[in-house]
Amino acid sequence: MGTITYLGFPPLAAFIFAIVIILLQYLLGPFILDWIYKVEWLSADKIPAHLRDFITNASAEKNIPFPRFGIIHDGNPNAFTYGHHPGDSRLVVTAGLMEVLDEKELEAVVGHELGHIYHWDFVVMTVAAIVPLLLYIAARTLVYSRGGGKNKGGAVLIGVISFIAYIVSQYIVLFLSRVREYYADQFSGKITGDPNLLSSSLVKIAYGIAKAPAEGDSDKKNETLAMAGRSFGIFDPKTAGALALNSALSGGFSSENMTAAMKWDLWNPWASFMELSSSHPLPAKRILALESQAESQGIKPLYGFVTEKQPESYWDEFLVDLFFKFFPLAAFLAGVLFVIIQHKYFGIPLIIFGISYWIKLAFAYPRRNFPDAEVTGLLASVKVSGIRSFPATLKGKVIGRGIPGIMWSKDLVLQDESGFIPIIYRQPLGILELIFGLFKVPELIGDEVTVSGWYRREIGPYLEIRDILKESGEKIKCRYLAFQLFIAGLSTALGIIWLLLEIGGA
């Protein structure tokens, strides 16, 4: 876009170019996703009978075509749909989802995806995405316009306003996406006749309250699967893995575990702030809406939701988190301001940045002991965020990739005796993460491992990997923290050298 403006093309050319790009993404996107995802597409007679009948009846009732149905053989529970319009829609579920949910719950999740198809959400969100792009082009065109004279200042001002509108519009599009999710949930509650089915599905997928398969059930489901052979997922694609937890409690649902897991969504101030940048609502809010829908349909809500009183305010931790999150930037800007005023000591901003960055890392990465923990125990933690973490060690089995079906997805999902949670792999260079995703992840899936790292929670919970110990004794380490410490030290050292040279030359 900037090149078009720089070459002197009229603003209309940039707008037309942007619309063409959007249309190409819309037209080619589904085919690209077909190529990216490792999906086994099933003919109608290969789909489990109960699910085939449900989709057939729902499609007939709502006058939508039977979607192309596929399965991704990955243990991370998820479902999503995509396409150009209802006539060529694709509906995909993972093997993990079919393993975790019972038949009626699986139908409720598929009903949610059918809701996206019925509401033409592919088209709605594509059209909505045009608005931020056009505002962005307008901002760049006006700010970097070659024109001069009296109109230049006015054009720049309008460009700045357009850029602000662009940022606001992005959040509006995300809000629209969250609204579409509520509508899809409502559709599922109506088409199944019982919103509680989707509520229990969301609780199982999002909070780890699913009962472990009874002895023999797993083999039966595997037999069924063997026979079976920006997308709209049941959760935000960026965090779907972080919302997949499976409790092994023999008694089935545990209201205590459910309540504990929901506390973060309901009480931690970070939850509402994180939701603003998410395409999906917080799970607790979706369940609240479904419980209201159940009551309106004359059905007793499944849970009655969380009645426990909040014991304290968590805003003090939130403000401390904010301080450490932005401390290096604020300190660096203060150093720059000092240099502007004094016109000397140019090394001070680098020194201040390096020291403040190291302090932030000391807060975000506590390096005391990494005690043994369980997934459900970590989930009960309310005082945790993207920057405030708990060191922990988990032992379990790697059951799938962070993003099911993406062959280069470098994150993993770990299952222990209490649940499963994503473990996030970070390295200083993206190429290292790509190599890990392509070549090391396939070796790890199915292995029993011991993982130490830092438990965090943003839209969903996850463990940021420090190291992975395989049964063979091989240890895989992440160097992301070491790289950040190096940056902090390098900045400090360069600042000190610069300052000493300046003082020595005075």
pLDDT, tens digit, for every residue of 222-236? Answer: 333 332 223 344 545
For residue 182, the model assigns a pLDDT of 95
Are 445 and 401 a contacting pair, CB within 8 Å? Answer: yes
Are 201 and 108 a contacting pair, CB within 8 Å? Answer: yes
Helix-, strand-, coil-residue percentages of the chain, each rounded to 5 = 60, 15, 30
Domain match, 506 and 469 both: yes
For residue 7, the model assigns a pLDDT of 52
Q: What percent of the chain has pLDDT over 70?
A: 83
What residues are annotated to the active site?
113
Domain match, 82 and 218 both: yes
Q: DSSP per residue over 275-303, as a string?
A: HHT-SS--HHHHHHHHHHHHHHTT---SS
Of 284, 311, 338, which closes a domain?
Answer: 311
Domain match, 252 and 283 both: yes
Domain match, 94 and 210 both: yes
Longest Cα–Cα distance in the chain:
84
Rg, the chain, Cα only: 25
Structure tokens at 73: 């053989």
Domain match, 307 and 413 both: no
* Residue 217 pLDDT > 50: no
What distances in angstroms separate CA 197 from CA 69, 89, 188, 211, 274, one per listed residue? 21, 24, 9, 15, 27
* Residue 79 pLDDT > 60: yes
What CA–CA distance (Å, rounded) separates 246 from 414?
11
For residue 16, the model assigns a pLDDT of 77
φ/ψ (deg, to 5) at 398: -80, 120
The stretch 316-324 carries a mean pLDDT of 96
Question: What residues contact 362, with CB distance under 8 A and at least 6 apart?
Answer: none
What CA–CA distance (Å, rounded) separates 275 from 264?
12
- What pTM was computed for the model? 0.73
Are 456 and 462 a contacting pair, CB within 8 Å? Answer: yes
Domain match, 83 and 50 both: yes
The stretch 357-377 carries a mean pLDDT of 93
Domain match, 156 and 273 both: yes
Q: What's the CATH number where 403 sits? A: 2.40.50.200
Domain match, 351 and 324 both: yes
Higher pLDDT, 403 or 477: 477
Domain match, 211 and 245 both: yes
Count of structural domains, the chain: 2
What CA–CA distance (Å, rounded) separates 130 from 172?
12
Q: Are strands 461-470 and 420-424 parallel, antiparallel or unpaired?
A: parallel
Higher pLDDT, 159 or 256: 159
What's the pLDDT tens digit per position in 243-254? 333 222 223 345
* Residue 114 pLDDT > 90: yes
For residue 459, the model assigns a pLDDT of 78
* Residue 442 pLDDT > 50: yes
What distances in angstroms separate CA 165 from CA 19, 137, 142, 161, 457, one per listed residue? 18, 12, 14, 6, 30
* Residue 294 pLDDT > 50: yes
Q: For 59-128, give the secondary structure using H, E and C.
A: HHHHCCCCCEEEEECCCCCCEEEECCCHHHCEEEEEHHHHHHCCHHHHHHHHHHHHHHHHCCHHHHHHHH
φ/ψ (deg, to 5) at 315: -70, -25
3-class DSSP state of 454: strand
User: 128 - beta bridge partners?
Assistant: none
φ/ψ (deg, to 5) at 32: -65, -45
Domain match, 187 and 323 both: no
Higher pLDDT, 7 or 479: 479
What's the pLDDT tens digit per position in 23-68? 887 788 888 878 888 889 999 889 999 999 999 999 999 999 999 9
- pLDDT mean across residues, the chain: 82
Q: What percent of the chain has pLDDT over 90?
A: 47
Of 311, 332, 359, which closes a domain?
Answer: 311
Residue 94 lies in domain: 1-311
Of 267, 290, 311, which closes a domain?
Answer: 311
Q: DSSP per residue over 159-211, as a string?
A: HHHHHHHHHHHHHHHHHHHHHHHHHHHHHHHHHHS-HHHHHHHHHHHHH--PP
For residue 152, the model assigns a pLDDT of 63
Least confident of 91-100, 217-226, 454-463, 497-506: 217-226
Domain match, 386 and 371 both: yes
* Residue 379 pLDDT > 50: yes
Domain match, 269 and 321 both: no
